[in-house]
Structure 1
Amino acid sequence: MARYRGPRLRIVRRLGDLPGLTRKSPRRAYPPGQHGQARKKKSEYAVRLEEKQKLRMNYGLSEKQLRRYVQKARRVTGSTGQVLLQLLEMRLDNTVFRLGMAPTIPGARQLVNHGHVTVNGRVVSIPSYQCKPGDVIGVRNRDGSRKLVEANLQYPGLANLPSHLEFDKNTLVGKVNGVVQREWVALQVNELLVVEYYSRLV
């Protein structure tokens, strides 16, 4: 299934706050659709599906991509849920978003796709690139790229910079100092339910 390109507020109304998807807040507090206001008890499957969809929509992944990340997280020692979140948080598009260089993750993906971002001095146009501790993330040395990032920095998506990142606003250079810790993940999600959801499928 391809990446979702429809109205983002509809997804936010359905799944709750997704800080990486949009900065707007919905006017209505109930889910969209004819039966949005009619509360009904969710099955265990529905609860797990909703947590999985939160993760998928917030990071802008296809179903196939998320399944691959789950398989990769399973092969690593440690808690599968936490490793999964670390893999997603260390993607280049998400790192650019967390540095404040873009207002949302889709905005950061576009910034990367259009060749405005460099990693260790080289232009990287792959949003799924896995950032590693020690990577230096900067802006391409072009006026258009710098103006774009400077405009985005005035209204960053999230106010707080995570502890594993540092950023110099004067030189527009950021550095990855380590791997993200669980408490710095902005998305409110129960990653164990996501792993349980995929345990029957993967």
Structure 2
Amino acid sequence: MARYTGPKAKIGRKFGEPILGANKTVAKKAYPPGMHGKGRRGKKSEYALQLAEKQKAKYTYGILERQFRKVFHKAHVKPGITGENLLKFCESRLDNTVFRLGIAPSRRAARQLVSHKHILVDGEIVNIASYALVPGQIVSVREKSKSLEAITNSLAGHSSKRFNWLEWDGKELTGKFVSYPDRADIPENINEQLIVELYSK
């Protein structure tokens, strides 16, 4: 199965928050999708909560199960707190960094820019969305792609909010992955400890 390409609102309603982007439907219909969405729901089991948190993280970062397991294993063997390492590695993905820099309006759009060879890493074309950046690497827009409407519109509409683990040069359209982010700086509403408990069973 490929990455989810269906309605973003459906996933947002499933988790009760717009994890795939802002959507009016999520706010209007604050209940899960489907014919039983408004029905009485029993208390979720511990396993159900853990599984839901893992699915939320996978949908948020656009990672498939096999890939997500590899990232978890990498986070598990690295010194430090496994859950925090997991989110740090997810944040260091090239597609996520392109999104965080404001070059693309969403992670899905960022993956497309990367796969279509519009993005450079240290001056070289990288078309692998899951490419793991390391501190010090430079992410930039390919010279002939700087005038792309999708990129200029995204940068124009990007808020002034910047992330302290990234540096951005708006004139040259280049960004630097300065360091892995601290957990407190990652804005995603994910309980990573539940994911660790799920994989530890």
Q: Note whether the superposition's TM-score is higher than 0.5.
A: yes
Structure 2 counterpart of 1:79, from 71, 78, 81: 81
Q: CA deviation at 1:2?
A: 2.8
- Give the count of matched residue pairs: 198
- The residue identity in structure 2 corresponding to 1:178 is S
Seq. identity, %? 44
Q: Alpha-carbon deviation of 1:149?
A: 1.6
The answer for the alignment partner of 1:22 in structure 2 is 21
| Contact 2:146/2:152 (8 A) holds in 1 | no
Superposition map of 1:87-102 within 5 A: 87-102=89-104
Q: What amino acid sits opposite 1:34 in the alignment? A: M
Please tell me the residue identity of whatever aligns with 1:81.
G
Distance 1:50 1:143, change over 3 A: closer
CA offsets 1:86-136 (integer angstroms, 9 cap, x no match): 000000000000001111101100010000111111111110111111111
Mapping of 1:93-132 within 5 angstroms?
Answer: 93-132=95-134
1:154 partner SS: helix
Tell me the CA shift for residue 6 of structure 1: 1.4
Tell me if structure 2 keeps the 8 A contact 1:48–1:194.
Answer: yes
Q: Is this contact kept in 2: 1:166–1:177, CA < 8 A?
A: yes
The alignment yields a C-alpha RMSD, in angstroms, of 1.6
- The letter for the 2-side match of 1:188 is N
TM-score by length of 1: 0.92
Q: Distance in 2 between matches of 1:107 and 1:55?
A: 18
Match runs of 1:56-75 below 5 Å: 56-75=58-77
Question: SS of 2:157's equivalent?
Answer: coil
SS at 1:73 equivalent: helix
Q: 1:28-86: per-residue Cα shift (whole Å, max 9, x none)?
A: 11111111122321111111111101100000111111111111111111110000000
Q: Does the Cα contact within 8 Å between 1:140 and 1:146 map onto a contact in 2?
A: no
2:42 to 22, 26, 40: 40
**Structure 2 spans left out of the alignment, 5+ residues:** none
Following TM superposition, by how much is the alpha carbon of 1:146 offset from its aligned partner in structure 2, in angstroms? 4.6
- C-alpha separation in 2, matches of 1:159 and 1:188: 21
Corresponding letter in the other structure for 2:43: K
CA contact (8 A) 2:9 2:18 kept: no
Q: Determine helix, strand or coil for the equivalent of 1:82.
A: helix
Q: Distance in 2 between matches of 1:133 and 1:76?
A: 16
